[in-house]
Structure 1
Amino acid sequence: MDLFRAIYSSRPFGYDEGILNSILMDARRANVRDGITGALICRADIYLQWLEGPEEQVRNAVERIKGDDRHLEMKVHVAEAVSERAFGEWAMLHDPAATWIWSQSEIADGAVDRATPEEITGFFLRPGIGGGAPDDR
């Protein structure tokens, strides 16, 4: 099976715990069904999501998310074939800390638009991400 990775950013619309839990439940259910794994870094001002799996299913997931009114200003930063999964154990890893990505003022100043694919990818590959309990999968 050919593996594909997409990483996008978006701005939350109506961010609160209930909306976030709904997004995570929807993502985990759809991702298990579609053979997609990944990670979500989120804060009240940004979502960064890494999706990996069969190319058609990942592209379909990206299109579904584009149409989801809980996401605004969606931008795909990375879309490429890969040889292996980085988050193979996680239907959707959730990292709520995200204190090491851009500050809110940097985001307001356009940091997301200026980000390179390498910078975006690097946020997910930092030591310590993916360290949640298996029950979080």
Structure 2
Amino acid sequence: MSLYRIIYSSRPFGYDSSMLNGILMQARRANARDDITGALICREDVFLQLLEGPEDKVKQTVERIKRDDRHIEVRMHVEKEVPERMFGEWAMLHDPAVSWIWTQAEIDDDAVERAPAAEVEGFFIRLRDQADAPDAV
């Protein structure tokens, strides 16, 4: 079975800690069921999520996210088959206080729209390299 990776961004609608906790709880449960792993980088101005697993399940998950009114302006950055998982230990790794991705000013200046796939994937490579164990969530 081939592995498929999608990285998308969206703007959160109605962002607060209870909304984020709801998203994480739902994602971890559904991802464990569907053999999907990944990571979520989030702030009040941007969600950046990597999902990986069976292609059909990953694509179904993204379609569900596109229908979720907590996500607006869903934009695909990476869609490809991959030889191995980047976040194989995590149903959904959550990075709550990312200060090393785009600034608010850069987001306001359309950095998300202009970002090349390699830059977006690079954020997750850095996150993976910083997370030393599944307990780091």
Q: Same fold (TM over 0.5)?
A: yes
Q: TM-score, normalization: structure 1?
A: 0.95
- Whether the 8 Å contact between 1:95 and 1:129 is mirrored in structure 2 is no
User: Which residue of structure 2 lines up, in the alignment, with residue 52 of structure 1?
Assistant: 52
State the distance in 1 between where 2:126 and 2:40 align.
14
Letter in 2 for 1:39: A
User: Which residue of structure 1 lines up, in the alignment, with residue 100 of structure 2?
Assistant: 100
State the distance in 2 between where 1:132 and 1:16 align.
27
- Whether the 8 Å contact between 2:90 and 2:134 is mirrored in structure 1 is no
Q: Does 1:126 align with 2:115?
A: no
State the distance in 1 between where 2:67 and 2:35 align.
21
- Whether the 8 Å contact between 1:4 and 1:82 is mirrored in structure 2 is yes
Which of the two has greater helix per residue? 2
5 Å-filtered alignment, 1:110-121, equals: 110-121=110-121
Measured against aligned partners, the alpha-carbon deviations of 1:71-112 in whole angstroms (never above 9, x if no partner) come to 000001000000000100000000012100000010011000
- Whether the 8 Å contact between 1:11 and 1:73 is mirrored in structure 2 is yes
Q: Residues 56 and 133 (structure 1 numbering): CA distance in 2 closer, same or farther, change over 3 Å? A: closer
- Whether the 8 Å contact between 1:87 and 1:130 is mirrored in structure 2 is no
Among all aligned residue pairs of Structure 1 and Structure 2, give the percentage whose two residues are the same amino acid. Answer: 62
- Whether the 8 Å contact between 2:89 and 2:134 is mirrored in structure 1 is no
Q: TM-score, normalization: structure 2?
A: 0.95
State the distance in 1 between where 2:34 and 2:130 align.
23
State the distance in 2 between where 1:129 and 1:25 align.
23
State the distance in 1 between where 2:92 and 2:123 align.
16
User: Which residue of structure 2 lines up, in the alignment, with residue 6 of structure 1?
Assistant: 6
Aligned to 1:60, the other structure's residue is in SS state: helix
Letter in 2 for 1:63: E
Two-structure CA RMSD over aligned residues (Å): 1.3
State the distance in 2 between where 1:35 and 1:16 align.
28
State the distance in 1 between where 2:50 and 2:38 align.
5
Aligned length: 136
Gaps of 5+ in 2: none
Distance apart, 1:131 and its partner CA? 3.6
Q: Residues 105 and 28 (structure 1 numbering): CA distance in 2 closer, same or farther, change over 3 Å? A: same
Measured against aligned partners, the alpha-carbon deviations of 1:39-72 in whole angstroms (never above 9, x if no partner) come to 0000000000000000000000000000000000
